């Protein structure tokens, strides 16, 4: 299931809270004026779902680590990220952030011999 949120300008709703549902299901958030409401619904419905129940796994070298990811999404000493994207369209984008571990962390890795 894909959840799309269409909010009418001038109407107050909890977009910040509701947009999390859209993000989890591959949906979109749009704020529209009452005059363009019909065309916006048509645009949302015109994007076919190309895959459902999509799960992405990204494995990093142990000298790298993920940034800004929930700990419960990580495994294998925080080198494997698993994300449930739900439904995807041809416009779905998935990005990650990662960085190199600190020098101290690299030196503490058990398979590096500095002699």
Is the domain of 42 the same as that of 63?
A: no
Residue range(s) defining the domain that contains residue 2: 1-47
Helix (H, G, I), strand (E, B) or coil at 16: helix
**Rounded (10°) CA dihedral 107, 108, 112, 113:** 80
CB–CB of 6/13 below 8 Å?
no
Residues 5, 18: contact at Cβ < 8 Å? yes
What is the band of 89 on the pLDDT scale with cuts at 50, 70, 90? confident
Is 115 found in the same domain as 64? yes
Mean of pLDDT over the chain: 82
CA 64/CA 78 separation, integer angstroms: 9
If asked whether residues 16 and 68 sit together in one domain, one would say no
Predicted confidence at residue 54, as pLDDT, reads 92
pLDDT value of position 9: 76
pLDDT at residue 114 tops 60: no
pLDDT at 108: 85
Q: Which residue has the higher pLDDT, 2 or 51?
A: 51
Interval 14-41 mean pLDDT = 76
Percent pLDDT > 90 in the chain is 30
Judged by DSSP in three states, 19 sits in helix
User: Could you tell me which residues come within 8 angstroms of residue 93 by beta carbon, excluding any fewer than 6 positions away?
Assistant: none
Residue (of 49, 61, 58) closest to 84 by Cα position: 58
Are 12 and 25 contained in the same domain?
yes
Residue with tokens 């190309």: 50
Q: Are residues 59 and 115 in the same domain?
A: yes
Rounded CA separation 49/18 (Å): 21
């Amino acid at each position: 299931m894909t959840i799309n949120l269409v909010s009418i300008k001038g109407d107050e709703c909890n977009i910040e809270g509701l947009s999390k549902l859209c993000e989890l299901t591959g949906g979109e958030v749009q704020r529209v004026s009452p005059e363009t409401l019909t065309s916006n619904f048509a645009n949302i419905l015109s994007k076919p779902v190309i895959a459902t129940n999509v799960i992405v796994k990204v494995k990093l070298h142990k000298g790298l680590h993920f940034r800004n990811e929930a700990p419960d999404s990580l495994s294998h000493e925080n080198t494997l990220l698993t994300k449930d994207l739900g439904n995807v369209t041809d416009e779905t984008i998935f990005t990650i952030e990662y960085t190199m571990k600190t020098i101290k962390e690299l030196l503490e890795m058990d398979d590096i011999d500095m002699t």
